[in-house]
């Protein structure tokens, strides 16, 4: 199998794809491309006209959007794609929930507490994001009341999609204490061998 090319850096949304690549075992080459200047070049815009990372190139396929890239990698691997229509639907559900509910809330909190320079932060937006993120974590905590993973007894691609995004708030000190089941689930997901390898790349950067 020829290596795919992933354009991005570990300390970005490319982390999610690195985690998926490590879990699937698909050979890859990381093409270092940062989100400030590297993705603004004319050459990169030919890959992604949105001028954002990550981008995956696999032969003639050029794909952007981190969670969509992961869906492709799951299917390509032949190991992580769900075996039933029901679990496939659950994977889509949790992927879309992550993109539409959890990530925007997390982003509002993270950008206005950690990422932006202090003078550019908006405390009201940070609190609004935190409130919405707490609601998302409450949903997760309730869902995990009678199962260890999102789709049942076994870890799955759905767990990877959600945990790879929530890593940002978890690693940056968001209070997961009120959501013990979600916290324990996230720690199980993020301490898998493949996740530790991807985290090593991100945390060393």
**What band does 197 get if pLDDT is binned at 50, 70 and 90?**
very high
The answer on pLDDT for 1 being more than 80 is no
How crowded is residue 203: how many other Cβ atoms within 10 Å of its Cβ? 12
* Whether the Cβ atoms of residue 5 and residue 29 lie closer than 8 Å to each other: yes
Reference 173, options 117, 126, 122; nearest CA is 126
Reference 54, options 10, 115, 98; nearest CA is 10
The alpha carbon dihedral of 173, 117, 18, 98 has a sign of positive
Structure tokens at 18: 């690195």
pTM of the predicted protein model:
0.95
Q: Which fold has domain 85-192?
A: Glutathione S-transferase Yfyf (Class Pi); Chain A, domain 2 (1.20.1050)
Structure tokens at 175: 């209070």
pLDDT tens profile 97-154: 999 999 999 999 999 999 999 999 999 999 999 999 999 999 999 999 999 999 999 9
pLDDT tens profile 138-182: 999 999 999 999 999 999 999 999 999 999 999 999 999 999 999
Instruction: Please list the residue range(s) of the chain that carry CATH number 3.40.30.10.
Output: 4-80
Count the alpha carbons within 13 Å of 24 in the hemisphere toward its beta carbon: 27
Count the alpha carbons within 13 Å of 189 in the hemisphere toward its beta carbon: 27
Domain 4-80 class in CATH = alpha beta
Q: What pLDDT is attached to residue 181?
A: 98
């Amino acid at each position: 199998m020829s290596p795919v090319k992933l354009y991005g850096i570990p300390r970005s949304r490319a982390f999610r794809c690195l985690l998926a690549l490590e879990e699937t075992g698909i050979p890859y080459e990381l093409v270092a491309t940062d989100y400030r200047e590297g993705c603004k070049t004319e050459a990169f815009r030919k890959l992604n006209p949105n001028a954002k990372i990550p981008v995956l190139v696999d032969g003639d396929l050029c794909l952007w959007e981190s969670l969509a890239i992961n869906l492709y990698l799951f299917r390509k691997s032949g190991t992580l794609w769900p075996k039933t229509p029901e679990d496939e639907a659950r994977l889509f559900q949790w992927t879309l929930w992550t993109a539409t509910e959890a990530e925007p809330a997390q982003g509002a909190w993270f950008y206005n507490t950690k990422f932006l320079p202090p003078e550019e932060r908006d405390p009201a937006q940070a609190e609004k994001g935190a409130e919405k993120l707490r609601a998302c974590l409450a949903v997760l905590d309730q869902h995990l009341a009678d199962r260890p993973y999102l789709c049942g007894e076994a870890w799955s691609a759905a767990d990877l999609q959600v945990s790879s995004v929530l890593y940002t708030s978890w690693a940056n000190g968001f209070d997961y204490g009120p959501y013990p089941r979600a916290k324990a689930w996230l720690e199980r997901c993020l301490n898998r061998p493949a996740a530790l390898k991807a985290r090593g790349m991100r945390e060393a950067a």
